[in-house]
Structure 1
């Protein structure tokens, strides 16, 4: 038996999560059965979708039960294996959640090669966030040379990758982020224009940045950013809807008039394609191509990535709360162990 430290959902949040919604506890992990492996977590991914899993509202995935371990992708070391496909000492991509140790079926793991890229990238640019950008852009956004793409939360793991892939495809890229430091980073990695959504004249800056309109808006945020974008969409513009982080902590409908009729009017009169998606629907079709192409782009310096690393499992709740408030800078990961 191995003792694991884990963070469980103590209660469901009403509005923004608080530290009281989480609880740290220990539990004994049994020895792996045939076909299973014992894992020690090295890195834990923190992602916006986890806020939805804390809620009991109906969604595309089952909610985390109160008292259960918080969900999440992990990079882990194999301490013991009872499966021929995985060996002791391998480093793997798993889905162990917020805990230091786990026993998992070997068939659900991907063995990583630390010689090709830092293993933490399997949680970011070479993992689910990177694949989300790749799939949403290639199957819904479909950027063409000379078109204009706008992406919000552009320094995040998804947004920064979206902009860089679009640039590779020949599009003009406009990134929206919060604060001068993040805006400067977007300029460093090759965005054509970077805009601070906290600026009092944000809407005017955005309109000036897209004199020919917007052909693709990769939606990560919603809220006031989306309200500034939608009047600027061109005919036949495509809107992959990946996330709506501005609304995740909402406890009621926004104040003011109902904007839905005007939104439907734009979809109709401008022949817009607005398509929500979950990255898992494209895995079977696109994942091998993603690993090959993104691996080449990262190795060749065509796609850059930034990681915001916090240390120790106990730091996960506060880091997660901060991410929902936009305090992270880059892909947020927890280094659980060396």
Structure 2
């Protein structure tokens, strides 16, 4: 086989958004599968905010991407050659692919998951993948949502936030308020996804609108953005309110460590709780959660939205969409 493997590697630690100096497109011969391995042609890349954090040389739940290494990312690929019984040619697989055309899968450290028949790749990457699982366990396990809760979601038009709000409604929340940027996104989460109310952080006073929308306080805040919006939600926390720290997308492109909330003592006064989590801790519980989510999809209780970007070379631009607010729903690069 004489195929070429295009790969996007980290050329320089970024400062701010990823640009032409941050990454480099290289070409090399496609890898050849050995016994016990399969060659997978990458078809779709999952674009997630955490990819940006992996580019920084700071401690995290996974090691930083090293200079010269392929940008780490999940994706879906098709088996094109197999020398193992674990994978058959033509099967679609989900796993860590990186930003490249080809990847090797095996039954060990490079194992990938076979997509069930009939599951579209966008759904596998998004609502049934790490994105949906993050929303599911963040709302149900960490946030301990219960009937009658008033729930606020930031980054509500994004992949994780949009799923989190819908899951909260399914689980009996009395009111779900989404915070998003722009009238179009706010209309989308209310009219299409069933949120009860939306706050446009680009054009409205978030603190004032939170007091209007949640006059008795916020029982559960699912935080995707950090920064000033986290402060605003802490200020309006109800007694025994919970804050789920899923991400802090507003700070990922800042140089230096993010500044913490200035009013964290609200947690003390309101007897509140703020907790972070890493979705990798829940891998063994994915199958049961995916079954429940699949049932909701079949019943029309939960919807997913994909924002497709075409071409491997566009992956850096696709990542930047997450920070510019240029996407609605899950960002996927189609190779």
Whether the TM-score (by the shorter chain) exceeds 0.5 is yes
Determine the structure 2 residue equivalent to 1:281. 281
Query: Could you say if the C-alpha distance between residues 192 and 31 of structure 1 is closer, same or farther in structure 2, counting changes exceeding 3 Å?
Result: same
- Alignment: residue pair count: 330
Cα distance in 1 for partners of 2:134, 2:210 equals 25
Determine the structure 2 residue equivalent to 1:18. 19
Offset of 1:316 from its aligned partner? 0.8
Offset of 1:114 from its aligned partner? 4.2
Could you give the per-residue CA deviations for residues 182-213 of structure 1, whole angstroms, max 9, x where no partner exists? 00111121101111111242321121000121
Cα distance in 1 for partners of 2:197, 2:287 equals 32
Offset of 1:78 from its aligned partner? 0.2
Does the alignment pair 1:122 with 2:121? no
Scaled by the length of structure 2, the TM-score of the pair is: 0.95
Task: Report the secondary structure of 2:52's partner residue.
Answer: helix
Match of 2:186 among 183, 187, 201: 183
Determine the structure 1 residue equivalent to 2:62. 61
Cα distance in 1 for partners of 2:58, 2:71 equals 16
Determine the structure 2 residue equivalent to 1:79. 80
Determine the structure 1 residue equivalent to 2:233. 229
Counting only pairs closer than 5 Å after superposition, residues 1-338 of structure 1 correspond to structure 2 as 1=1, 2-107=3-108, 108-115=111-118, 117-171=119-173, 172-188=175-191, 189-252=193-256, 260=262, 262-263=263-264, 265-284=265-284, 286-336=285-335
Offset of 1:109 from its aligned partner? 1.2
Cα distance in 1 for partners of 2:205, 2:68 equals 45
Task: Report the secondary structure of 1:139's partner residue.
Answer: helix
**Deviates further, 193-202 or 63-72:** 193-202
* 8 Å CA contact retained: 2:41, 2:79: yes
- Report the RMSD for the aligned CA atoms in angstroms: 1.5
Offset of 1:282 from its aligned partner? 1.4
Scaled by the length of structure 1, the TM-score of the pair is: 0.94
- Flag as ranges the 4+ runs of structure 1 deviating above 6 A: none
Cα distance in 2 for partners of 1:62, 1:247 equals 19
Cα distance in 2 for partners of 1:81, 1:254 equals 45
